[in-house]
Amino acid sequence: MKMMQGQNISDIIEAYLKQILADSEKVEIRRAEIADLFNCVPSQINYVIKTRFTIQRGYLVQSKRGGGGYIRIEKVNLLDNRDMLDTLIELIGSTITQRDALAIVQKLYEEDFVTRQEANLTLAAISHDALAVNDRHLENALRASVLTSILNHLRFEKS
C-alpha cells in the first residue's frame, strides 16, 4: 500500500480496514500481522481501532487474546437494530464530550436515522455554546443528559 502525502499512519490503517469492511460486514484481523504490514508497532493498531472504530461510529469491536487471538470489527446498521440506541445510551452514561457526541449524531445521520435538520438541531442543542457553562465536567454531563433524552425519544418514535 502506497503512503499518501499528508496522511499519517493511523489514517492509512483506518482506510485499509474500511476498504476491507466495504466488501463485507465484518473483518477479523491479527494485530501483529497488520502491524507488520504497515511496519508499525502493534499498539498503533490498538490506537486506530479504539479511536476510529467505535460504537459511536457504527462499529462493534471484539477481541480475543492469546495465541489464536484476533480482533473482529463489525459494521452495525443502526436502522435495523433498535438495541443499538440502547447501547448508545448506555455508552453515553452520565457524561460525554462534544467530540464523541458529534460522532454519535453523525452516525445517526449517515444511517438515515435522523434527517440533516434533526442532526443539526441536535448538534446545536449539545454544543459548547448552547450549554454555556464554565465547568467542563458539568458541560459534559448536561450534554449527556440532552443527548440521552433525544436518543430515548428516537427509540420510542422509531419502534
Enclosing domain of residue 141: 82-157
Number of H helices, E strands in the chain: 8, 3
Looking at the structure, do residues 102 and 148 belong to the same domain, yes or no?
yes
Looking at the structure, do residues 108 and 125 belong to the same domain, yes or no?
yes
Looking at the structure, do residues 144 and 96 belong to the same domain, yes or no?
yes
Find the mean pLDDT for residues 129-146: 95
Confidence of residue 76 (pLDDT cuts 50, 70, 90): confident
Please tell me the total count of domains within the chain: 2
Q: Looking at 40, 75, 110, which one is the last position of a domain?
A: 75
CATH of residue 108's domain is: 1.10.1200.150
d(CA 12, CA 2): 9
| pLDDT digit string, tens, across residues 91-124 | 899 999 999 999 999 988 887 888 999 999 999 9
- 60 by Cβ neighbours in 10 Å (0-12 / 13-18 / 19+) ranks as middle
Find the mean pLDDT for residues 44-54: 89
Looking at the structure, do residues 69 and 89 belong to the same domain, yes or no?
no
